[in-house]
């Protein structure tokens, strides 16, 4: 498999890179991405591919279940750099269907680090549990709802980070969008429209 990746790189250099040499030279000089993407690490959700974007478009952070934690220095540094230095106006938090992280939040896991990490999404599970009990949802419906509620919760977490709060008060940016990618169809559904009222998320 590793050899296949290197062979793929040689095809990329000979094909796409050479055909669009001016573009790749321009982004070699400096990057000016317009989107900051916080997605799941899942191998099926490749942000460049599913959005038809070229390298240089999306500044990326991915982790298990597309979680934003206020005490995660990694995501904090990425967001600060993306907004302050790269002047990125739009952040997308993208979850997806059939997410192993979402299923683990629902069913629980015994592994220490994974369980601790997923605790950050517990608020989404609590809300989903309530709605599922009221509406009599089955497991698949519940997992679908939990993926959506997790996106809303992580947007709330992001909007509550002090740096983001202050920047929004001063400039009105960044706009924060919530998307759900369906691995079954390849389609993206907008869960929270960061340009309108939908961005004012309530828990
Ligand atoms: Zn996932």
Q: How confident is the model at residue 129 (pLDDT cuts 50, 70, 90)?
A: very high
pLDDT score, position 196: 65
C-alpha 141 – ligand 1 centre gap (Å): 16
In this predicted structure, the answer to whether residue 95 has a pLDDT above a threshold of 90 is yes
Return the active site residues: 40, 42, 44, 96, 99
Tracing tokens 């977490």 back to the chain, one arrives at: 157
Helix (H) or strand (E) holding 109: none
- Look at domain 31-199 and name its CATH class: alpha beta
Residue 32 confidence (pLDDT):
97
Q: Are 91 and 156 in contact (CB under 8 A)?
A: no
Distance from C-alpha of 178 to C-alpha of 131, rounded to nearest angstrom: 20
pLDDT score at 74: 96
Ligand 1 geometric centre to CA of 78 (Å): 20
For the entire predicted model, the pTM comes to 0.94
Contact 99, 147 (CB under 8 A): yes
* pLDDT value, residue 197: 46
* Sheet with 175-181: strands ordered across: 58-63, 35-40, 90-96, 175-181, 188-192
Give backbone dihedrals phi and psi of 160, rounded to 5 degrees, phi first: -90, -10
Domain boundaries, the chain: 1-30, 31-199
Predicted confidence at residue 70, as pLDDT, reads 86
- Portion of the chain with pLDDT greater than 70, in percent: 96
Rounded Cα–Cα distance for residues 15 and 10 (Å): 8
Mean pLDDT across the chain, nearest whole number?
95
Instruction: Reduce the secondary structure of 132-162 to three states and give it as a string.
Output: HHHHCCCHHHHHHHHHHHHHHHHHHHHHHCH
Look up tokens 């600060």; give the residue. Answer: 80
- 14 has a pLDDT exceeding 80: yes
**What distance in angstroms lies between residue 115's CA and the mean position of ligand 1's atoms?**
15
């Amino acid at each position: 498999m590793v050899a296949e990746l290197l062979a793929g790189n040689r095809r990329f250099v000979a094909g796409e890179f050479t055909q669009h040499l001016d573009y790749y030279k321009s982004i070699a000089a400096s990057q000016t991405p317009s989107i900051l993407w916080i997605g799941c690490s899942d191998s099926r959700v490749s942000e460049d591919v599913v959005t038809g974007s070229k390298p240089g478009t999306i500044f990326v952070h991915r982790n298990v279940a597309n979680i934003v934690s206020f005490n995660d220095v990694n995501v904090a540094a990425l967001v600060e750099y993306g907004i302050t230095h790269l002047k990125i106006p739009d952040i997308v938090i993208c979850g997806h269907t059939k997410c192993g992280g979402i299923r683990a939040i629902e069913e629980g896991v015994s592994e220490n680090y994974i369980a601790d990490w997923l605790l950050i999404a517990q608020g989404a599970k609590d809300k989903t549990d309530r709605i599922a009990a009221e509406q009599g949802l089955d497991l698949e419906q519940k997992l679908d709802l939990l993926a959506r509620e997790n996106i809303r919760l992580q947007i709330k977490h992001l909007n509550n980070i002090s740096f983001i709060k202050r920047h929004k008060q001063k400039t009105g940016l960044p706009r924060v969008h919530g998307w759900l990618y369906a691995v079954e169809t390849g389609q993206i559904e907008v869960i929270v429209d960061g340009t309108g009222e939908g961005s004012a998320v309530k828990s």
